[in-house]
Amino acid sequence: MNALTAPPLYDLILDFGGARVIFSFKILVGVIAPIILKALAVGLLTSVCAAMLGVPLVLKRYSMIGDGLSHTGFFAVAVAAACGAASGAQIYITLPLVIAVAVVLLLLSESGKFKGDSAIAMICTGAVALGYIIFSLSSKGTGDVCSSLFGTAILALNMDDVAVSSVLAVGVIVVFVTLYNKIFSVTFDPAFSKSAGAPVKTVNVLLAVLTAVTVVVGMKMIGSIMISALVVFPALAAMRVSKSFKGVIIVSACLSAVCFLVGLFFATVVKFQFRSGGFADVQIPVGPSVVCVNVVALIVCILVRKVKTARAKKKAAN
């Protein structure tokens, strides 16, 4: 390798013959740095929201609500696109739609007319089918469909997107923290909370609304198919390593933020080249990258828990 073909500064290349992995740190200071900063701001806030909400949702056995809502989100985006809303304005249509469905979903599953999971399955599939029909009829390209399913838009956010998403996400965090004690009480023991005069139903509805907001904001970055991963994985992982409710929520939020950072790193800084592809640069998309890092984090937490309990048993045996 001579100086002429040497890679630019900041690049680190691992060459495996048929495949190369390139760490292209220069993008962090280059022209696309602002793009990454925007993604970082929205992504971190959304990850934290989803992870905090995930704890009560998982514990209430509501984790599929995230899924139901995100599929509704797909439908809502289709409606917004068909109405001709620009991508930045779509949120004014998707947000109220998804919130409405969240409340209906919650009331449906609580009324006992449908079990929670079948109510969600109905809404999920129905919404996706309708959404795709609307996309087709309004002859928006498959690009829109792909973007709202898999969230390819996070690296194409404009300042308006960032502002709206940040305000919503911060709002969700503030409401969650304010309601924290009530959420604990209602999630832990609804019968006792009701006897103590806690507004059980209101808290449940608020949880659903917060989830709806998070899903709508998160869809942009990670896509409607995968957004519930952000709700479920950090919560499940945190439950393996912390004993108290507060501990689980804090661990969940921090873990989710770290996973997002790592996921974004692999999707932006790291490039791959394969001989079969003529050594052209390829990259992994942000959403799946973040989700996979979350999967790994959960596995690590499960292992940590296994080691801990094994040690405790050993200690007890001695």
Residues contributing to the site for another protein (CB under 8 A): 59, 61, 178-182, 184-185, 187-189, 191-198, 239, 242-248
Residue 96 or residue 247: which is nearer to another protein going by CB? 247
Q: Quick one: how far is CA 235 from the chain centroid?
A: 12
Closest approach of another protein to the CB of residue 209, in Å: 17
For another protein, the closer of residues 26 and 194 by Cβ is: 194
CB of 247 to another protein, least distance (A): 7
Nearer to another protein, 158 or 181 (CB): 181
In the bound state with another protein, the residue whose beta carbon lies nearer, of 103 and 179, is 179
| Amino acid identity for residue 201 in this structure | K
Helices (H), the chain: 33-59, 63-82, 91-111, 116-137, 142-150, 159-188, 190-195, 200-222, 227-241, 245-268, 286-317
Strand order in the sheet with 270-274: 11-15, 19-24, 270-274, 281-282
* CB nearer another protein, residue 188 or residue 274: 188
- Distance in Å, CB of 201 to another protein, minimum: 13
Residue 221 neighbours by CB under 8 Å, 6+ apart = 39, 42, 43, 46, 151, 153, 154, 286, 287
Beta carbon of residue 122, minimum distance to another protein (angstroms, whole number)? 25
CA distance 286 to 177: 28
For the bound state, the minimum distance from the C-beta of residue 239 to another protein, rounded and expressed in Å, comes to: 5
Of residues 146 and 170, the one with the C-beta less far from another protein: 170
How far apart are the C-alpha atoms of 211 and 131, rounded to whole Å? 20
- Hey, what's the torsion of the CAs at 282, 288, 294, 299, to 10 degrees? -80
Q: Closest approach of Cβ 114 to another protein, in Å?
A: 20
